[in-house]
Amino acid sequence: MILILGGTGEARELAARVPAISSLAGRVSAPRLPAGEVRVGGFGGVDGLTQWLRDNDIHAVVDATHPFARQITANAFEACGRAGVPFLILRRPGFTPQEGWLWVDSVTEAARHLPGSRVFLTTGRQDLAEFAACPQWFLARMVEPPEPPMPQRIEVLLSRGPFTVDGELELMRSREIDVLVTKDSGGSMTSAKLEAAAQLGVPVVIVRRPPLPPAEVVPTVEDVLRWPGLAGTGRSGLLG
């Protein structure tokens, strides 16, 4: 059996094409569920995941988590090494860099480099506390309601992509946005905001992806399906 980590679009696509158990972190109350068997919640760190892999006869692990889910990727890499299970990272390509983007290494650094007064913040609710002391006005878009601490001057917009360029243009104009803060998550579901920012001449502060462990990395589901580590996992005939 294959274990797929993550609730990304790529993870759901892969789960629809191979027999697998999909593992979701459980941070969203109503996630988009993949096909097949699904488990929700953590494993109990590296030790817990190592034992779970052994107990459930897992023959391969594909990490298709969000590009910023650093801890689970590190834990999975180590657990697979201990358990002797083949491990592959599926990561969609990042956004194509544009001239004028301000690249930073962390959300903390982004909060220290805000070249505007009305901020469109799309880094997620877990990072909102990093901006709590900032004096700027924020439009913060996320899937689930946030918990304090958060900036004093804030409008929270609960929404889930995909988003359109026209919609992002209207949103940014109506809120008079003069800086966009986001992560290099890649993909098409959230890229429209970058095009809208470019059209409006709005500066972009973008957080670089965290480093990956020294594992094999592929960019697409098709690459996963060609991975030798899936040999013998019962995937034959399911690749249409």
What does 75-114 look like in DSSP terms, one character per residue?
A: HHHHHHHHHT--EEEE----PPP-TT-EEESSHHHHHH--
Are 77 and 211 within 8 A, CB to CB?
Answer: no
- Write phi, then psi, for 63 (nearest 5 degrees): -90, 105
pLDDT at 33: 87
Model-level pTM? 0.89
Rounded to 10°, the helix 165-174/192-200 angle is 50
Consecutive 10-residue averages of pLDDT for the chain (240 residues): 94 95 82 90 96 97 96 97 98 91 97 94 94 97 93 95 95 98 90 96 97 97 95 48
Are 85 and 53 within 8 A, CB to CB?
Answer: yes
pLDDT at 240: 33
pLDDT at 237: 36
pLDDT at 31: 76
Tallying the residues shown for the chain, one arrives at 240
pLDDT at 233: 59
